[in-house]
């Protein structure tokens, strides 16, 4: 039972760390971040199973993590009001070609991040973007204007670099 309690506490701690660290942090892990994640996993496992290195303790710890994940997912399903807290909400970071600076700052996203995502989608100018949404998984979704739309041209301040 001790392993279950420690596993549940560590699961909640890791869940909170991921929620606080931000969407983009989770969505763009570097090689160093992956190594750090594996190291943290090893440290966490030591805290969870403590001196019990048996297969049973490992199975109980993994099962507790899996069950906690299922419980959180079910809570979000049964109680829709909890979904934003449990999973986050998508945020509009560009509206009608203009960055929404307070959202960018709150999500710790730079314009370089937005420009990079634009380039990956083949978008040449931020003025072509009706909406850019930061999804809960850290990815960007773009809604662009069609070729028939009349947009102001000639402004260089939002050209994708």
Q: Is the pLDDT of residue 114 over 90?
A: yes
**pLDDT number for residue 40:** 65
C-alpha dist (Å) from residue 33 to 29, 42, 87, 88: 5, 14, 21, 22
Mean pLDDT confidence for 65-78: 84
Which of the four pLDDT bands, split at 50, 70 and 90, describes residue 12? confident
pTM: 0.61
Instruction: Write out the DSSP string of 42-95.
Output: HHHHHHHHTT--SHHHHHHHHHHHHHHHHHHHHHHHH-GGGHHHHH---EEEEE
Are 85 and 18 spatial neighbours (Cβ–Cβ below 8 Å)?
no
60-63: which pairs have CB atoms within 8 A and are 24 or more residues apart? 60/3, 60/4, 60/7, 61/3, 61/6, 61/7
Determine the average pLDDT of the residues in 2-28: 70
Which percentage of the chain shows pLDDT scores above 70?
Answer: 68
Angstrom CA distances, 4 to 13, 48, 83, 106, stand at 14, 8, 25, 35
Query: What are the extents of the domains in the chain?
Result: 2-87, 91-144
Is the distance from CB of 29 to CB of 37 less than 8 angstroms? yes
For the chain, what percent of residues have pLDDT higher than 90? 30
Distance CA 160, CA 152 (A): 16
Looking at residue 104, its pLDDT comes to 93
3-state class (DSSP) for residue 113 = helix
CA distance 41 to 54: 17
51-55, 94-98, 108-112, 129-133, range with the lowest pLDDT:
51-55
pLDDT at residue 91 greater than cutoff 60? yes
Please tell me which residue, 94 or 24, carries the higher pLDDT value.
94
Fold designation for 91-144: CRO Repressor (3.30.240)
Count of residues making up the chain: 161
């Amino acid at each position: 039972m001790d392993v279950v309690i420690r596993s549940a506490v560590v699961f909640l701690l890791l869940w909170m760390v991921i929620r606080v660290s931000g969407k983009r942090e989770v969505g763009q892990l570097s090689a160093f971040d992956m190594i750090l994640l594996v190291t943290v996993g090893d440290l966490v496992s030591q805290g969870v199973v403590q001196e019990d290195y048996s297969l049973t303790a490992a199975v109980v710890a993994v099962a507790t993590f899996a069950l906690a994940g299922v419980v959180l997912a079910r809570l979000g399903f049964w109680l829709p009001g909890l979904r934003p807290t449990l999973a986050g909400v998508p945020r509009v970071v560009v509206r009608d070609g203009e960055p929404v600076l307070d959202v960018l700052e709150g999500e710790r996203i730079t314009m370089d991040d937005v420009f990079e995502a634009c380039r990956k989608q083949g978008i040449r100018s931020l003025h072509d973007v009706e909406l850019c949404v930061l999804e809960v998984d850290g990815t960007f979704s773009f809604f662009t204007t069609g070729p028939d739309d009349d947009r102001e041209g000639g402004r260089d301040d939002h050209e994708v670099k």
